[in-house]
Amino acid sequence: MPQCLIVDSSSSRAGATRRSPKLWLYGGLSLYAAAFLLYAETRAFTVDEGYHMLAAQLIAAGRTPYIDFCFPQTPLNAYWNAAWMRLLGESWRVPHLLAALFTMGAVLIMANYVLRRFPVGEWRLAGAVVVALAIGLNGPVWVYGPLQAYGICLFGLAAGFQLAVRAVERDGWLPPAASGFCAGIAAASSLLSAAAAPVLLCWMLYYNRAGRRWKTFLAFALGISLPFAPVFWLFVRGPRQTWFNLFRYHVFFRKLYWPETTQHDLEMLTAWIDNGQALLLGLLALGGLVYIVRQSGWPRTLKAEFYLCAWLAAALSAEVGRAHPTFTRYFLLTVPFLAVLAVAGLFAVSRAFEAARPRWPVLVVAVLFALGLGRTLYDRREMETWSVYQRLAAKVDQVTPQNQPIFALEPLYFLTRRTPPPGYELSYTHLVNLSPAEAALMHILNEAEVKRQVQSGMFATAYSCDDDEIAKYGFKTLYKQHVDMEDCTIFWDRAK
């Protein structure tokens, strides 16, 4: 028997071994969770999350996405956040908390998988630590895990993978249905994760060792359809609006704000070249995959699980890489699966250097991942946070009479709890030109109509951080008073 598969069978020692790794691992995960939650509730922010927050707020107020306002996303995460906002209050901290918990859940699931399944007994704890470090300290995961739908997608993908592994070993409909349900949660929260579903299904059908394949197929299909219930309901109510928000907008209009889409995408797709974390994770994952393919001592069924990680990472990379425009943060969805392969890669490297124990290889990797995260956070040290917009919102409320409309971006509409006028729920739609009838159906205003409404004096207060926009709309002549705050300007007191 190959040395890598030899595990101590002593019951007392095995029991102690099982308890000790979990104690160390979960203790470390607790420290990570505390730091991550602190970041999520204080520093986590991106301007683009504003329209996700606003959508959840509008849903909580009784409005319907697609039907009442434009929201070019699958809506499950927005409905989820809206439900919790009704219970806990309309604060940005509520969605951040939920997304952070989902992200931490994904880290725990993947670390626990390696702790249970890695075939080298003395490397199981080390492998679980490496997975937790590779995911938890990954720059994009740390920065964007608490934001938008990334957290719930990471959790759905990780849970779907774990359940798929179990499904091929058991007869019955529940495991594949649960895997489909989790994959559906991810895709129904963001279509960026949709490629994982067919990979999981095909893998389960191919490697099925218990039960009938048709039962697996039907169970998975049933499971994945449940999270899409809001989409089906919205399609019945408004088929044209649903089709526009989920498909037409992304295919034809999403790139309007990025005229040099091809150049931009090439820059994003090659950004890993000067990113130490991405290089380290990618090289370890690639080395791990090569090692597994060449390893004859590992059981075929176990190798298949690592191959599933490779297929999931490849499929998700292909999907998000084809988004126009794409962004480096989209690739964070592949990190959990690359991390599992990276464990095999680090194990192979340690054997090549004849490292007797995994302590030093893991320590080196831990330092490198920690330094990579530190560099990411240092580069973002001057980025805006919600506190900036809270100060702006407070000033807007101070100078604006109650129930009067304001011209602003989504974060300010959310913080001031002022319902945006029709067509202002998503600023990224103002470059979309549709026929008047279709624009009204989709709740979209083009630039010309926005300018006409602004100059008609319909807004009691206007806010902008763009000098060109201020000049284009003539804010300085439309309003008598203004104040500069946070590199932006707030205008109020309309000129007669």
| Rounded Cα gap, residues 326 and 269, in angstroms | 8
| Rounded Cα gap, residues 363 and 66, in angstroms | 49
Burial (0-12, 13-18, 19+ Cβ within 10 Å), 101:
middle
Chosen domain end from 379, 398, 421: 379
pLDDT at position 13 is 47
Low-confidence ranges of the chain (pLDDT < 70): 1-21, 211, 355-356
pLDDT at position 172 is 82
- One domain, residues 69 and 134: yes
For the chain, state the CA radius of gyration.
25
- One domain, residues 139 and 162: yes
- One domain, residues 362 and 446: no
Domains of the chain: total: 2
pLDDT at position 76 is 98
pTM, 2 dp: 0.93
Chosen domain end from 311, 344, 379: 379
CA 4-6-11 angle, to 5 degrees, is 145
Q: Which of 143, 152, 18, 109 is nearest to 339 (CA)?
A: 109
Q: How many residues does the chain have?
A: 496
- One domain, residues 321 and 449: no
In sequence order, what E strands does 66-210 have? none
Provide the β-strand partners of residue 491.
Answer: 462, 482
Q: How far is CA 468 from the centre of its chain?
A: 32
SS3 string of 327-356?
A: CHHHHHHHHHHHHHHHHHHHHHHHHHCCCC
Chosen domain end from 361, 379, 397: 379
- One domain, residues 174 and 214: yes
Q: Which of 475, 481, 487, 467 is nearest to 407 (CA)?
A: 475
- One domain, residues 306 and 422: no
pLDDT at position 127 is 94
Q: Which domain holds residue 403?
A: 386-494
pLDDT at position 351 is 85
- One domain, residues 206 and 223: yes
- One domain, residues 169 and 54: yes
- One domain, residues 326 and 206: yes
- One domain, residues 64 and 178: yes
pLDDT at position 77 is 98
Burial (0-12, 13-18, 19+ Cβ within 10 Å), 403:
exposed
For 407-435, the DSSP string reads E--HHHHHHHTPPPPTT-S-GGGTT----
Q: Cβ(393)–Cβ(387) under 8 Å?
A: no
pLDDT at position 416 is 96
Q: Cβ(396)–Cβ(461) under 8 Å?
A: yes
- One domain, residues 310 and 210: yes
- One domain, residues 399 and 374: no
SS3 string of 174-198?
A: HHHHHHHHHHHHHHHHCHHHCCHHH
User: How far from 56 is each of 120, 149, 237, 430, CA to CA, in Å?
Assistant: 46, 12, 19, 21
Report the SS3 class of residue 484.
Answer: strand
